[in-house]
Amino acid sequence: MRTLASRTQESTEEINSIIEKLQAGSNDAVNAMSMSREQARELSSQASDAGVTLNTIAESVARINKMSTEIAVAAEEQNSVTDAMKNNIDQINDIAGRNREATEKTSQTGEALAQMAQELETQVKRFSL
């Protein structure tokens, strides 16, 4: 009986040891799952934040592209205006050159008329004498 009681006590202690190990393992598993759940929450939050940041970056890139297009259009318009101004200046220069030529001819014609008037005056004086 003593042997049976001794074996029963040993078996009970062994079973208690196994139960304690199982409980410790279960506690470790629960702790590991809790940590994994918390890490998953953190990763989910970080992924959400990254998504928001990427959306913000995409919107910024879209705004930059739109501004670049507007700048390119404005530059084209400025080039067109500059070309038109150059053409107008060229026309003004051409007209000014023709005006200068006409003024020179008018001046020459005026001088010729003045000389003719002087000659006519001289000839009229001859008839008067």
pLDDT in tens, 17-41: 889 889 988 998 999 999 999 999 9
Please give the pLDDT value at position 65: 97
In a domain, 129, yes or no: no
Residue 24 lies in domain: 1-123
Average pLDDT over residues 65-69: 97
Please give the pLDDT value at position 124: 84
Please give the pLDDT value at position 129: 57
What pTM was estimated for this model as a whole? 0.52
- Residues 36, 37, 42, 47, CA torsion sign: positive
In terms of Cα–Cα distance, which of 39, 82, 103, 18 is closest to 10? 18
Burial of 118 (0-12, 13-18, 19+ CB in 10 A): exposed
- Phi, psi (deg, nearest 5) at residue 6: -65, -45
**How many distinct structural domains can be found in the chain?**
1
Burial of 65 (0-12, 13-18, 19+ CB in 10 A): exposed
In a domain, 128, yes or no: no
Q: How confident is the model at residue 123 (pLDDT cuts 50, 70, 90)?
A: confident
